[in-house]
Structure formats: structure tokens, C-alpha cells
């Protein structure tokens, strides 16, 4: 792999990851045998693979991705958060959050 290609792919990763606080992306992997750069998209939550992160980490990672894309495209839509009872603190969002939680109460609607 040329130095230019290595610099190019690392700069793409750096630019994308600079937009996020807790989420990062591994956009390329280097094939150990050939040295070739292979595109991939592995999501990391505070350095841990997304699928290994706990439920709260996964939910907040999803919210952060929605927030960054919403700001980038200038679109604000309501966001439904399922299993919200499993998260102590949701990240700050600048859009309406509709939190779906398990409860023994009859229909309970709260507005924030």
C-alpha cells in the first residue's frame, strides 16, 4: 500500500470520527497477507465493538449517530427509543424523544 493511500484512508476515518463523542468507526482494515486496504465499517462505542456494548451503550450510540446525521442533513424528526427503561441517562438530543418503557401501569404518557 502506498503512503498516499494510507494517509488518504486514515484522514477519511479521522474526519468522520471527529464528528462523534462516544462513537467511532473503523472504516478500513489492512489485509495482513497482502497489505491491501479493505473497506469495512465497524462501529465502536467508547472503543468497544457495538455488538459487545451493553444495551444502554447501544441505544446511546444509535442516538448519537442519529444526532450527527440530523445535524449534517439539517433534518429534525421525532426519535422513538425502545427499551428506554434500560438506560439511566440518554444523551442530550435536540429533537423530540419518544421513550418506550415497560410498565405495569395502564397507559401512561409523559411529555418532556
Question: pLDDT by residue (tens digit) across 54-84?
Answer: 999 999 999 999 999 999 999 999 999 999 9
pLDDT at 111: 62
Q: Is 74 helix (H, G, I), strand (E, B) or coil?
A: coil
- Write the CA distances from 35 to 14, 26, 42, 74, 81, integer angstroms: 20, 17, 19, 39, 41
Are the CB atoms for 90 and 97 separated by under 8 Å?
yes
Which region among 7-11, 45-49, 63-67, 69-73 has the lowest average model confidence (pLDDT)?
A: 7-11
pLDDT above 80: residue 105: no
Question: pLDDT by residue (tens digit) across 18-29?
Answer: 999 999 999 888
Amino acid at each position: 500500500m502506498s503512503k498516499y493511500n494510507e494517509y488518504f484512508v486514515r484522514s477519511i476515518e479521522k474526519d468522520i470520527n471527529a464528528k462523534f463523542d462516544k462513537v467511532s468507526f473503523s472504516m478500513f482494515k489492512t489485509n495482513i497477507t497482502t497489505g491491501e486496504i479493505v473497506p469495512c465499517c465497524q462501529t465502536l462505542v467508547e472503543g468497544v465493538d457495538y455488538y459487545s456494548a451493553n444495551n444502554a451503550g447501544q441505544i446511546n450510540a444509535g442516538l448519537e449517530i442519529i444526532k450527527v446525521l440530523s445535524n449534517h442533513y439539517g433534518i429534525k424528526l421525532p426519535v422513538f427509543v425502545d427499551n428506554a427503561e434500560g438506560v439511566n441517562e440518554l444523551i442530550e438530543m435536540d429533537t423530540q424523544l419518544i421513550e418506550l418503557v415497560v410498565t405495569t401501569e395502564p397507559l401512561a404518557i409523559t411529555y418532556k
